[in-house]
């Protein structure tokens, strides 16, 4: 597999007006709306490092490179790509960028758009296009890299990406604070932690089903990842101790959290003003619905709901969670994964005329992942 | 594309003689429309001396509604325009060649500040530093801090995706803008991104940032605010060789410590600054200094400070001085931030470059720049964001001396080529504008440039918003036949990069702003 192979696959589809399902390693093909495509174009074999100069803290890889491979390669030089999307680390970087998937580290290291320096893609006409560059700062030309990030393969097939890396922290420790007491007490503790001078790598509030699945207790938990030099972690740990009791847990707990979503039938992400999540989080962390896993990033302002049993999911959507697909004016509801029929009536996020204009320009024959964004 | 209603260009025109001017005056008030060539002189350049373009007309709306009405009127008339903030841009981006300037500096309301959610919504004409002063009492800051922060506007920052010294740790404008209300050239208003959360769909907000005024005009901008760090420490390391300072820069980056800022100034720049009113007590006999800032939690910063000091001394620093208090810190920064202004004293004209290179290539590229400057007998002043590899090789010269102009031009072209060959970019923060258009084909293929044209065409199908900038028109496949186009296009190859044009009037130096 190479860029040329992607070009010829797309050109052939264009000439026969047949559509393509774009796939990485197919670990998350059930995300997004159902796609009806004639063929699958998989990038799984287009994998590997194109260039890596550790001193530059930048890495260029082919799109089919699994995240786990990036982790392995960079770790050899005491570096990492602080991007930990939920789901499997076997997923590819191309798909991660295409779906703009992020995980707990996003609240401190940013979203995929913030870690991406440049990319190469093949548009729906088979043209090879590059956006951005390979250096850490760049404003040459219009920003095609951001445009492609989160476009779910509908504007082009990403073939190569350049990313910003960081040095692995000297210390990287994770602590669990049990959230006990009344809703009010929990809310004020969460607020105190978020507004404190702590600068955690990641901070997540987990409801009891998640806590049990990760085997770190019974009560809802505030999971805090502190990283940096030893002194910075120690001082933060002292600050944390002054706010609440905490116990150290294995940092591998974060992998457990990421993997929790594998095989889930239904994943919903709600984002809004961070402060509103601090206020309501106490109520959301209740133990009333054991089939719903919930975790909240109160710094970033994101709540994820993961439902395993399809019947419960369908039943609970409106009545239990009160989620209106259109969202409330102060929040956005993004359905990452739903049982097929549940998509009906959920509005597309790309139906506006600018988005439609971009789609027409980049994929005029509508052959790339048709339907995945509901347009 | 139509050009403004014919009007005498030489004789002074009053709004009454110029139908569009009259109608614009009805919207914004007569005082806020300029059409006399003499009044328009102020708007014929930006922060980059060397380019002049005379606008046909300038209009300064005072409210959002007026701005919308102005753009709708221009849309109805098919007239082209250039949005303009403070005019501090360094790529000729805000120049209007015989078309309308829409000046946005009167739109300077801070619409809302949400401390709990660390965000603010501002009008485009709000000056960067003013926003920072406004949020500082709440323990917050707006991270992107271009050296021009005292004058440049948030609208201009968004349009250029501006950076600044502290972007090494905190990221550039792109990483701090949550939402933008955009007034499209058609007059339609759209909301890109989200003021409240993270939207799905195409990242059109991301696409708009850095669009240099070509996608329409930012009407309001919602930015992310950052908590002020607990501790800030600033070091000044001085070196007797450029090479040592370059190696130390690479060593600090490679160590994994992310300083808040890591700035480089070479000997010629140090001496220019020390001779100016911005003198910062830099050692005059040094060949290079590094200005390094570390911030964060006190304990962590102290540990990093020691590590950085060691790297500097091991790398040959003569001296490492740590600022004792805020006053001393500010003074050290003042010299850096006003360096361009100080260079204005050297000669009447100044070429400011903005190339980016991979950080490990710094020692080698600085040696190459020195060799090129010797070859052409020009003085290059290097003052730049070293931690990001974002170079600013600047040459002060006199454009009135054709021989000198030619040498300077050739030297700069070779410097840029060396940066491109090293795998770098032609601009890290100043934008392409008019100035760097000639280099676009050296780093982007035809199909990449065409994809950029297509994206622009979605926002501005008639190409009326800041026409003739960023992407050379001939690179856009469908745009070859521009009806009646008086667009000034870029030049087609690196060797004919647009030459800074000699100017008629006294150049305005950034320091004057
Ligand atoms: C001394 C000096 C130091 C500088 N240091 C830095 C630095 O450290 N980092 C850096 O990044 N830049 C720096 N600059 C460059 C410049 O200040 C920035 O590019 C700044 O963002 C421009 O803002 P402005 O308001 O002056 O924009 P202008 O110069 O008025 O316009 C710049 C571009 O933005 C467009 N524009 C302006 N407002 C809007 C709007 N509301 N909507 C759409 N388009 C708009 C214009 O059409 C034009 O293309 C420096 C400039 C000077 C003179």
Counts for chain A of helices (H) and strands (E), in that order: 13, 17
Ligand 1 in reach of B498 Cβ (< 6 A): no
Q: How confident is the model at residue A276, as a pLDDT?
A: 83
Return the number of other C-beta atoms located less than 10 Å from residue A367's C-beta.
24
Strand partners for A129? A121
Reported as type and span, the H/E element at residue A343 is none
Among the residue ranges A273-287, B42-56, B133-147, B389-403, the one predicted with the least confidence is A273-287
Q: How confident is the model at residue B478, as a pLDDT?
A: 63
Tell me whether strands B100-103 and B57-59 are parallel, antiparallel or unpaired: parallel
CATH number at residue B23: 3.30.43.10
Q: For residue A172, report the phi and psi dihedrals to the nearest 5 degrees.
A: -150, 95
B377, part of any domain = yes
Please say which residue of B307, B324, B340 terminates a domain.
B340
CATH number at residue B400: 3.30.70.2740
Q: How open is the CA angle A161-B165-B111, to the nearest 5 degrees?
A: 90
Helix axis angle for A183-195 and A274-284, nearest 10°, is: 150
Please say which residue of B51, B75, B103 terminates a domain.
B103
The structure tokens listed for B475 are 């690179």
CA distance A302 to A111: 12
Confidence of residue B13 (pLDDT cuts 50, 70, 90): very low
Q: Per the CB < 8 Å rule, is B455 touching A231?
A: no
Q: Tell me, yes or no, whether B298 and B325 share the same domain.
A: yes
CATH number at residue B174: 3.30.465.10
B43, B46, B47, B126: which to mutate for ligand 1, most atoms within 8 A of CB?
A: B47
Q: Per the CB < 8 Å rule, is A129 touching B202?
A: no
Confidence of residue A344 (pLDDT cuts 50, 70, 90): confident
Is it the case that residue A231 has pLDDT exceeding 80?
A: yes
Sign of CA dihedral A37, A39, A45, A48: negative
Q: Which of B202, B255, B297 sits opposite A350 (nearest CB)?
A: B202
Q: Residue B370 burial (CB < 10 Å; 0-12/13-18/19+)?
A: middle
Is it the case that residue A283 has pLDDT exceeding 80?
A: no
CA distance B164 to B218: 21
Confidence of residue B491 (pLDDT cuts 50, 70, 90): very low
User: What string of H, E and C letters represents the secondary structure of B145-197?
Assistant: CCCCCCCCEHHHHHHHCCCCCCHHHHCCHHHHEEEEEEECCCCCEEEEECCCC
In chain A, domain spans: 3-167, 171-342
Residue B330 structural domain: 229-340
Is it the case that residue B68 has pLDDT exceeding 60?
A: yes
Q: How confident is the model at residue A173, as a pLDDT?
A: 98
CA distance A173 to A234: 10
CA distance A110 to A114: 5
Please say which residue of B283, B306, B340 terminates a domain.
B340
Inter-residue contact A24 to A43 (CB < 8 Å): yes
B3, part of any domain = no
Of A105, A118, A91, A232, the C-alpha closest to A166 is: A105
Return the number of other C-beta atoms located less than 10 Å from residue B112's C-beta.
12
DSSP state of A373: T
- E-only strand ranges, B267-392: 288-296, 319-322, 349-352, 380-384
Inter-residue contact A369 to A37 (CB < 8 Å): yes
Q: Tell me, yes or no, whether B411 and B464 share the same domain.
A: yes
The structure tokens listed for A321 are 């969670």
Q: What is the mean pLDDT of residues A257-275?
A: 90
Of B381, B462, B455, the C-alpha closest to B212 is: B455
For residues B452 and A317, the model is more confident at B452
Is it the case that residue A321 has pLDDT exceeding 70?
A: no
Inter-residue contact A342 to A314 (CB < 8 Å): yes
The structure tokens listed for B437 are 């258009």
Q: What is the mean pLDDT of residues B62-75?
A: 98
Inter-residue contact B343 to B396 (CB < 8 Å): yes
A25-56 per-position pLDDT tens digit: 988 888 889 998 999 999 999 999 999 999 99
Is it the case that residue B153 has pLDDT exceeding 60?
A: yes
A19-45 burial, b for 16+ CB within 10 Å, e for fewer? bbbbbbbebbebbbbebebeeebbbbe
- CA of A184 relative to ligand 1 center, distance in Å: 47
CA distance A181 to A222: 13
The structure tokens listed for B294 are 């570390």
Q: Which of A143, A229, A274 sits opposite B207 (nearest CB)?
A: A143
The structure tokens listed for A121 are 């893609």
Strand partners for B110? B122
Q: How confident is the model at residue A309, as a pLDDT?
A: 64
Look-up: residue for tokens 């303009």? Answer: B84
Is it the case that residue B293 has pLDDT exceeding 60?
A: yes
- Which residues lie below 8 Å from residue B481, measured CB to CB, with a gap of 6+? none
Q: For residue B424, what is the nearest residue in chain A, using CA coordinates?
A: A135
Is it the case that residue A150 has pLDDT exceeding 50?
A: yes
For residues B345 and A10, the model is more confident at A10
CA distance B195 to B121: 8
Q: What is the mean pLDDT of chain A?
A: 91
Ligand 1 in reach of B85 Cβ (< 6 A): yes
Q: How confident is the model at residue B477, as a pLDDT?
A: 76
Confidence of residue A281 (pLDDT cuts 50, 70, 90): low
Inter-residue contact A91 to A26 (CB < 8 Å): no
Q: Per the structure, how many domains does chain B have? A: 4
Q: Tell me, yes or no, whether B373 and B504 share the same domain.
A: yes
Quickly list H helices, A3-156: 3-16, 67-75, 93-98, 106-109, 112-115, 144-148
Return the number of other C-beta atoms located less than 10 Å from residue B325's C-beta.
7
R_g over Cα of chain B = 23
Confidence of residue B19 (pLDDT cuts 50, 70, 90): confident
Ligand 1 in reach of B125 Cβ (< 6 A): no
- Pick the residue whose CA is nearest to atom 18 on ligand 1: B89
Q: How far is CA A57 from CA A69, A142, B261, B390, B443, in A?
A: 16, 24, 16, 15, 21
Q: Per the CB < 8 Å rule, is B254 touching A54?
A: yes
Look-up: residue for tokens 């700062």? Answer: A137
Q: Which of B253, B258, B297 sits opposite A197 (nearest CB)?
A: B297
Is it the case that residue A316 has pLDDT exceeding 60?
A: no
Contacts of A232 in chain B (CB under 8 A): 296-297, 299-300, 303
CATH number at residue B287: 3.30.70.2190
Q: Tell me, yes or no, whether B67 and B194 share the same domain.
A: no
Counting residues of chain B whose pLDDT is more than 90, the rounded percentage is 82
Look-up: residue for tokens 């409330």? Answer: A328
B7, part of any domain = no
Q: How confident is the model at residue B488, as a pLDDT?
A: 32
Q: Tell me, yes or no, whether B330 and B197 share the same domain.
A: no
Inter-residue contact A140 to B440 (CB < 8 Å): yes
Q: Per the CB < 8 Å rule, is B450 touching A301?
A: no
Task: Report, in this order, helix, strand and coil percent for chain B, each rounded to 5.
Answer: 40, 20, 40
B58, part of any domain = yes
- CA of B129 relative to ligand 1 center, distance in Å: 13
- CA of A33 relative to ligand 1 center, distance in Å: 41
* ipTM, 2 dp: 0.95
Ligand 1 in reach of B93 Cβ (< 6 A): yes
Q: Is B250 helix (H, G, I), strand (E, B) or coil?
A: helix
Ligand 1 in reach of B389 Cβ (< 6 A): no
CA distance A235 to A238: 5
Q: How confident is the model at residue B486, as a pLDDT?
A: 34
Q: What is the mean pLDDT of chain B?
A: 89
B230-269 per-position pLDDT tens digit: 999 999 999 999 999 999 999 999 898 999 999 999 999 9
DSSP state of B422: T
Q: How confident is the model at residue B474, as a pLDDT?
A: 86
Considering only the top CATH level, what class is A3-167? alpha beta
Q: Minimal Cα–Cα distance from A217 to chain B, Å?
A: 31
Q: What is the mean pLDDT of residues B192-216?
A: 96
Counting residues of chain B whose pLDDT is more than 70, the rounded percentage is 89
User: Is the pTM value of this prediction over 0.90?
Assistant: yes
Q: Per the CB < 8 Å rule, is A273 touching B114?
A: yes
Inter-residue contact A220 to A209 (CB < 8 Å): no
CATH domain A171-342 topology: Vanillyl-alcohol Oxidase; Chain A, domain 3 (3.40.462)
Confidence of residue A324 (pLDDT cuts 50, 70, 90): low
B99, part of any domain = yes
Q: Per the CB < 8 Å rule, is B356 touching A271?
A: no
Among the residue ranges A184-198, B210-224, B303-317, B376-390, the one predicted with the least confidence is A184-198
Is it the case that residue B94 has pLDDT exceeding 80?
A: yes
Of B163, B138, B168, the C-alpha closest to B152 is: B163
């Amino acid at each position: 597999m190479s860029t040329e192979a992607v070009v010829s696959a797309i050109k052939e589809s264009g000439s026969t007006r047949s559509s393509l399902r774009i796939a990485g390693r197919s670990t998350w093909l059930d995300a997004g709306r159902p796609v009806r495509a004639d063929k699958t174009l998989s990038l799984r074999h287009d994998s590997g490092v194109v260039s890596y100069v550790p001193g530059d803290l930048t890495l260029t890889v082919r799109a089919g490179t699994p995240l786990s491979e990036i982790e392995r390669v960079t770790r050899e030089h005491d570096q990492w790509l602080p991007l930990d999307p939920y789901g499997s680390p076997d997923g590819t970087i191309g798909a991660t960028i295409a779906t703009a998937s992020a995980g707990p580290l996003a609240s401190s290291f940013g979203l995929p758009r913030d870690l991406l320096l440049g990319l190469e893609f093949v548009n729906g006409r088979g043209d090879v296009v590059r956006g951005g560059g390979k250096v850490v700062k760049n404003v040459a030309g219009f920003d095609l890299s951001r445009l492609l990030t989160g476009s779910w393969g509908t504007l082009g097939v990403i073939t190569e990406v350049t990313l910003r890396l960081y040095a692995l922290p000297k210390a990287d420790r994770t602590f669990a604070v049990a959230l006990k007491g009344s809703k009010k007490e929990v809310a004020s503790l969460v607020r105190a932690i978020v507004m404190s001078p702590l600068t955690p790598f990641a901070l997540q509030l987990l409801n009891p089903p998640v806590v049990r699945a990760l085997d770190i207790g019974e009560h809802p938990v505030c999971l805090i990842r502190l990283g940096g030099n030893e002194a910075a972690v120690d001082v933060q740990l002292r600050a944390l101790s002054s706010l609440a009791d905490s116990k150290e847990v294995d940092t591998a707990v974060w992998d457990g959290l990421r993997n929790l979503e594998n095989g889930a039938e239904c994943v919903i992400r709600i984002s809004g003003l961070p402060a509103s999540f601090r206020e309501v989080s106490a109520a959301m962390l209740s133990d009333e619905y054991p089939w719903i896993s919930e975790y909240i990033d109160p710094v970033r302002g994101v709540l994820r709901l993961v439902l395993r049993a399809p019947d419960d999911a369908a039943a609970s959507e409106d009545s239990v969670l009160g989620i209106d697909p259109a969202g409330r004016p102060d929040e956005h509801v993004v359905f990452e994964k739903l049982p097929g029929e549940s998509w009906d009536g959920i509005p597309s996020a790309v139906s506006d005329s600018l988005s439609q204009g971009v789609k027409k320009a980049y994929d005029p024959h509508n052959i790339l992942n048709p339907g995945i964004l509901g347009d | 594309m139509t050009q403004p209603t014919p009007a005498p260009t030489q004789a002074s025109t009053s709004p009454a003689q110029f139908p569009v001017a009259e109608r614009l005056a009805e919207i914004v008030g007569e005082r806020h429309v300029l059409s006399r060539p003499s009044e328009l002189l102020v708007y014929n350049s930006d922060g980059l001396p060397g380019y002049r373009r005379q606008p046909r007309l300038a209009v300064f709306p005072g409210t959002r509604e007026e701005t919308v009405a102005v753009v709708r009127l221009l849309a109805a008339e098919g007239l082209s325009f250039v949005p303009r903030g403070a005019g501090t841009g360094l790529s000729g981006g805000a120049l209007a060649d015989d078309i309308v300037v829409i000046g946005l500096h009167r739109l300077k309301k801070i619409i809302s500040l949400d401390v709990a959610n660390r965000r603010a919504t501002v009008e485009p004409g709000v000056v960067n530093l003013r926003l920072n002063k406004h949020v500082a009492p709440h323990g917050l800051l707006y991270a992107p801090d271009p050296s021009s922060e005292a004058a440049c506007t948030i609208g201009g920052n968004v349009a250029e995706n501006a950076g600044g010294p502290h972007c090494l740790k905190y990221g550039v404008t792109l990483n701090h803008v949550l939402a933008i209300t955009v007034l499209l050239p058609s007059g339609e208003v759209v909301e890109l991104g989200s003021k409240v959360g993270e939207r799905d769909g195409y990242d059109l907000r991301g696409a708009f940032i850095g669009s240099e005024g070509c996608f329409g005009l930012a009407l309001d901008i919602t930015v992310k605010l950052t908590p002020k760090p607990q501790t800030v420490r600033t070091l000044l390391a001085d070196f007797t060789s450029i090479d040592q300072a370059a190696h130390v820069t690479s060593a600090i980056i490679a160590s994994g410590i992310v300083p808040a800022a890591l700035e480089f100034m070479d000997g010629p720049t140090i001496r220019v600054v020390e001779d100016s009113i911005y003198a910062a007590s830099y050692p005059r006999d040094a060949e290079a200094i590094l200005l390094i800032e570390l911030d964060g939690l006190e304990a962590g910063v102290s540990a990093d400070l020691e590590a950085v000091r060691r790297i500097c001394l091991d790398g040959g620093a003569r001296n490492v001085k740590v600022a004792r208090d805020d006053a001393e810190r500010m003074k050290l920064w003042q010299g850096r931030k006003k360096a361009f202004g100080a260079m204005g004293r050297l000669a009447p004209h100044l070429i400011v470059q903005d190339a980016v290179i991979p950080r490990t290539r710094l020692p080698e590229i600085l040696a190459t720049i020195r060799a090129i400057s010797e070859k052409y007998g020009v003085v290059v002043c290097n003052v730049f964001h070293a931690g990001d590899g974002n170079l600013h090789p600047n040459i002060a010269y006199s454009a009135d001396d054709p021989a000198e102009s030619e040498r300077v031009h050739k030297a700069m072209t070779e410097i840029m080529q060396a940066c491109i060959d090293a795998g770098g970019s032609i601009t890290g923060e100043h934008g392409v504008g008019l100035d760097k258009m000639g280099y676009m084909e050296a780093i982007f293929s035809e199909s990449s440039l065409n994809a950029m044209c297509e994206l622009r065409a979605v926002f501005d199908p008639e190409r009326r918003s800041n026409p003739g900038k960023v992407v050379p028109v001939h690179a856009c496949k469908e745009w070859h036949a521009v009806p009646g186009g008086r667009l000034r296009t870029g030049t087609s190859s690196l060797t004919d990069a647009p030459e800074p044009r000699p100017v008629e009037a006294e150049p305005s130096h950034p320091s004057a702003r």
